[in-house]
Amino acid sequence: AQVQDMSSSKVKAAKNMAFVFDIDGVLVHGDRLIPEGRRVLEILNGDNELGIKIPHIFLTNGSGKLEAPRCKQLSEILHSPISTDQFIQSHTPMRALAEYYKTVLIVGGEGYKCREVAQEYGFENIVVPNDIVAWDPTIAPYRVFSDEDRATSNPRDFSKINIDAIMVFSDSRDYATDMQIIMDLLLSENGRLHTVAKDPVSQRIPIYFSQGDMLCPTEHPIPRMSQGTFRIGLEAMYKALTGVELERVVYGKPELATYKYADEVIASWNEQIHNEGILPAKANTYMVGDNPASDIIGANEYGWNSCLVRTGVFQGGDNDENNPASFGVFKNVLAAVQTAMRKEL
């Protein structure tokens, strides 16, 4: 009976804990598997002493693709099923904005993938910068517009359409064009191109960014600029042109709203795997990340345990100096998960 009691209390503890995984630098590098990531998912999907699933979700600042194909791709790389119901990309919570804005400018990403993302999120009238350049090429004087760009764009008469909001979903592929068009809209009368507002503030449409990372590690030896630097460039230009600060909203890690959204996803995922919508206490929730300035600071501020791994951005000593991981630094994701499980179970 004692053995049974012990195992039932362990089952309870296992259902009352949760892991939140960063993806890039923790489970994969781009499209390349980090081998310990595969083992971790096997363990959490039931290959553990209790034979039960241990709640876990994925929280990435990645962007630019629909959730379903990205989950399919990650499932193949990691050899474990990853459901869209346990998966949050930087722009996933921006789905809720479809209720408030009808006509939106969607910026960033490869080709027209972000147009597809916005369509799937339920935005009604989606405009991408190429639609605008196809309508009026003089808007972007340095842009070379290819036949393919023309064939895949959807020009309309934007002097008769108000754009309700600007949403940067992913990294800009053409700073000059995207910044020019964004600035034109911020300075326009209520998002109408070819107009200039008398008062830049009261007639300004809102602007949202899906995440704030300054730098992103790539194949290049020195990290490349990301959405955060693009935003800072825009803010500085706007301030220089108008004299006022640009108000904006940033999603993604380490923003508080993202962590609250993650908690909702953990509770509903628990409902799916254990028929109980338990939201584990923050003290039993473990964020595993590689970026102190994003994963770790966000988790620390939210009150989760934070585990910093050495397989990604962090290259420092014992712990990060500015944003130390509260649960410790680990050589990889497997070491972090095993240590957390030993503590909780």
Output 43 or 215, the one with its CB closest to ligand G3P.
Answer: 215
292 makes contact with ligand G3P (CB under 6 A): no
User: What is the nearest approach in angstroms of ligand G3P to the Cβ of residue 289?
Assistant: 7
**If DSSP codes are grouped into helix, strand and coil, which group holds residue 307?**
strand
- 30 sits in the region (left: phi over 0; alpha: psi -120 to 50; else beta) called left
Output 263 or 290, the one with its CB closest to Mg ion.
Answer: 290
User: What is the nearest approach in angstroms of ligand G3P to the Cβ of residue 219?
Assistant: 13
170 makes contact with ligand G3P (CB under 6 A): no
Q: Which one among 86, 153, 226, 300 touches ligand G3P, defined by CB under 6 A? A: 226
**Segment near Mg ion (CB under 5 A); pick from 4-12, 15-23, 118-126, 222-230:** 15-23
323 makes contact with ligand G3P (CB under 6 A): no
174 makes contact with ligand G3P (CB under 6 A): no
Six-digit token pair at 133?
A: 């350049």
Instruction: Calculate the CA 223 to chain-centre distance.
Output: 18
Task: Name the nearest CA neighbour of 140 among 148, 129, 150.
Answer: 129
User: What is the nearest approach in angstroms of Mg ion to the Cβ of residue 264?
Assistant: 22
**Segment near ligand G3P (CB under 6 A); pick from 22-30, 44-52, 186-194, 332-340:** 22-30
Q: Which one among 37, 60, 193, 320 touches ligand G3P, defined by CB under 6 A? A: 60
Q: Which one among 131, 171, 290, 320 touches Mg ion, defined by CB under 5 A? A: 290
Q: Which one among 24, 131, 213, 263 touches Mg ion, defined by CB under 5 A? A: 24
Q: Under rule CB under 6 A, how many of the chain's residues touch ligand G3P?
A: 11
For residues 198-211, b (16+ Cβ closer than 10 Å) or e, as one string? eebeebbbbbbbbb
Q: CA–CA separation, 75 vs 80, rounded Å? A: 5
**Segment near ligand G3P (CB under 6 A); pick from 16-24, 66-74, 149-157, 200-208:** 16-24
DSSP for 320-337 reads -SSS--SSEEESSHHHHH
Output 108 or 191, the one with its CB closest to ligand G3P.
Answer: 108
User: What is the nearest approach in angstroms of ligand G3P to the Cβ of residue 322?
Assistant: 18
Could you give phi then psi for residue 95, rounded to 5 degrees? -50, -40
67 makes contact with ligand G3P (CB under 6 A): no
Binding at 62: pick from Mg ion, ligand G3P, none (beta carbon under 5-8 Å per type): ligand G3P
Output 25 or 228, the one with its CB closest to Mg ion.
Answer: 25
Could you give phi then psi for residue 130, rounded to 5 degrees? -60, -30
234 and 179 in contact (C-beta within 8 Å)? yes
Beta bridge partners of 32: 29
**Segment near ligand G3P (CB under 6 A); pick from 56-64, 77-85, 96-104, 318-326:** 56-64
61 makes contact with ligand G3P (CB under 6 A): yes
Whole-number Cα distances in Å, 328 to 14, 26, 154, 157, 339: 21, 15, 51, 56, 10
Q: Which one among 15, 17, 22, 55 touches Mg ion, defined by CB under 5 A? A: 22
Q: CA–CA separation, 25 vs 312, rounded Å? A: 4
**If DSSP codes are grouped into helix, strand and coil, which group holds residue 53?**
coil
User: What is the nearest approach in angstroms of Mg ion to the Cβ of residue 294?
Assistant: 7
Beta bridge partners of 330: 309
CA angle at residue 309 from 284 to 169, to 5 degrees?
85
Q: CA–CA separation, 339 vs 328, rounded Å? A: 10
Provide the binding-site residues for ligand G3P, judged by CB under 6 A: 22-25, 60-62, 213, 216, 226, 291
